[in-house]
Amino acid sequence: MNLEYFIAKRLNGAASYKSSASSTIIKIAIIAIALGMVMMLIAIATTFGLQGKIREKVSAFSGDIMVSNFDGNNSEETVNPVSINQEFYPHFTAVPEVTHVQAIAAKAGIIRTETDFEGVMVKGLGADYDWNRIDDYIVAGRKPNLEGAKLNTETLLSTYLANRLGFVLGDKLIVYFINQESGRPTPLRLDIVGLYESAYQEFDKVYLMTDIRHLRRINKWEEDEIGAFEIFVADFDEVQHVKNKVYQNSASTLRAMSIVERSPSIFEWIKLFDFNMYLIIAVMIIVAGINMIVALLVLILERTQMIGILKAMGTSDWSIRKLFLYNSAYLIGLGLFWGNVIGIGIILIQKYFGVITLNPETYYVKEAPVFISFWHITLLNLGVVMLCLLMMLIPSFIITKISPAKSIRFE
């Protein structure tokens, strides 16, 4: 035990850069591990952060699952009404994974001003609408009052449409709906009481929100008729499974579609983030492993004479290899420590200060969102240590090929 301790102390001299020949190589290896760890932490944090934020934003404005009439209509406009008197409304007790159900309707219209016009989608909401999901996106004014018995003309408009058409908070606007039977436009006058900005361009460019009773009147629906139901689930990762259960527990005349099925291009796109993240992790681990292999070979070559003496004294090859691997693990740990400190520091700075910005038209967010958990960090560190040590088992095999007689005379 005392002999192994003495040898470990000698090897740790290299880790402390006492050997001028290996100092530069060891420093490069430690820096490579630290930088690789920083890159991997940032890749994981931004991947999970961006995926989570986009999913959260898309589902907040469109629901995780939509239940509508089984009429084959795939447009955003709800043409054929659904009775609000369903067993699953307002509480979907048959599917416990469902957290909220709300009734909505949507109708295409045109906003016309003195100088311009714009096609829009008017989304009708009821008193059951969960504003908590989009409250953070209301940047001016307030949400429309949908709970009063008296129908009002309040609406929530996006800042994109307000800027494009020259509206400000408190202005009035007129939406024209084309009557399919007569071909004549039906006007709806609304008062802008709030402005929202989600950076989810597919929604901001089109939607304004108001009382669902306006759309009932224009569509000539009954008081108990709506366009569709938006359903929210507790765990988005289970949305497809929950969608199947929702479909099985709803009327045969209704269909259920998840947000993944309704917006496939967005979710296929964010799946690509996983590939990029895994690619970065793989490249960084390979680079760190190669640098550690070089450092290990330098340590072995510098201590060839010492290895020969140990073999002559009867020390087994595996015991000597373990000592070099222990020392390599120390160097890896040193690189991981600084990599974690720098990487987590950068992530926290981005989380609280939003230093890195993105183009919302491309990424649906203005700032790069980050998310990382204790388990992500732990698993990443354990994975890096294990893979790097496994990569060094092969080069450490060179120790078994060193001859005591020749190495003792080695200079």
Please compute the mean of the pLDDT values over residues 23-40 and round it to a whole number: 88
Res 332 pLDDT > 70: yes
Please compute the mean of the pLDDT values over residues 300-314 and round it to a whole number: 75
Closest CA to 370 of 349, 399, 395, 392: 349
| Beta bridge partner(s), residue 233 | 98
Name the residue type at position 247.
Y
pTM above 0.85, yes or no: no
> At which residue do the structure tokens 């224009």 appear?
218
93: its two tokens: 């007790």
Is the CB of residue 107 less than 8 Å from the CB of residue 122?
Answer: yes
Long-range contacts of 140-145 (CB under 8 A, 24+ apart): 140/169, 140/194, 140/195, 141/169, 141/192, 141/193, 141/194, 141/195, 142/193, 142/194, 143/193, 143/194, 144/193, 144/194, 144/209, 144/210, 144/211
Name the residue type at position 16.
S
| Beta bridge partner(s), residue 103 | 229
> At which residue do the structure tokens 């938006």 appear?
230
Is the CB of residue 269 less than 8 Å from the CB of residue 58?
Answer: no
Q: Which of 70-74, 167-171, 195-199 has the lowest mean pLDDT?
A: 70-74
Please compute the mean of the pLDDT values over residues 315-334 and round it to a whole number: 83
Q: Does the CA dihedral 62-65-66-70 come out positive or negative? A: positive
Measured distance CA(12)–CA(81) in Å, rounded: 76
pLDDT at 1 (0 to 100) = 46
> At which residue do the structure tokens 């930088």 appear?
35
Closest CA to 104 of 254, 215, 263: 215
pLDDT confidence band for 15 (50 / 70 / 90): very low
330: its two tokens: 């120390």
Contacts of residue 72, Cβ cutoff 8 Å, sequence gap at least 6: none
pLDDT at 85 (0 to 100) = 94
Per residue, the 3-state secondary structure of the chain, as one string, reads: CHHHHHHHHHHHHHHCCCCHHHHHHHHHHHHHHHHHHHHHHHHHHHHHHHHHHHHHHHHHHHCCEEEEECCCCCCCCCCCCEECCCCCCCCCCCCCCEEEEEEEEEEEEEEECCCCEEEEEEEEECCCCCHHHCHHHEEEECCCCCCCCCCCCEEEEEHHHHHHHCCCCCCEEEEEEECCCCCCEEEEEEEEEEEECCCCHHHHCCEEEEEHHHHHHHHCCCCCEECEEEEEECCHHHHHHHHHHHHHCCCCCEEEEEHHHHCHHHHHHHHHHHHHHHHHHHHHHHHHHHHHHHHHHHHHHHCHHHHHHHHHCCCCHHHHHHHHHHHHHHHHHHHHHHHHHHHHHHHHHHHHHCCCECCHHHHCCCECCCCCCHHHHHHHHHHHHHHHHHHHHHHHHHHHHCCHHHHHCCC
Is the CB of residue 197 less than 8 Å from the CB of residue 232?
Answer: no
pLDDT at 128 (0 to 100) = 94
Query: Of the segments 74-83, 90-99, 319-328, which one has the largest average pLDDT value?
Result: 90-99
88: its two tokens: 């699953």
**pLDDT per residue as tens digits for the range 182-215:** 778 899 999 999 999 988 888 999 999 999 999 9
Please compute the mean of the pLDDT values over residues 48-62 and round it to a whole number: 91
Please compute the mean of the pLDDT values over residues 353-378 and round it to a whole number: 89
Cis amide leading into 90 (omega within 30): yes
| Beta bridge partner(s), residue 65 | 231, 258
**pLDDT per residue as tens digits for the range 137-158:** 999 999 999 887 788 899 999 9
- For Cα atoms 239, 242, 248, give the angle at the middle one, nearest 5 degrees: 140
Q: Which of 37-46, 337-346, 356-365 has the lowest mean pLDDT?
A: 356-365
Measured distance CA(217)–CA(308) in Å, rounded: 94
Res 7 pLDDT > 90: no
**pLDDT per residue as tens digits for the range 85-104:** 999 999 999 999 999 999 99
pLDDT confidence band for 14 (50 / 70 / 90): very low
Contacts of residue 46, Cβ cutoff 8 Å, sequence gap at least 6: 368, 369, 370
242: its two tokens: 């929950």
Measured distance CA(185)–CA(180) in Å, rounded: 9
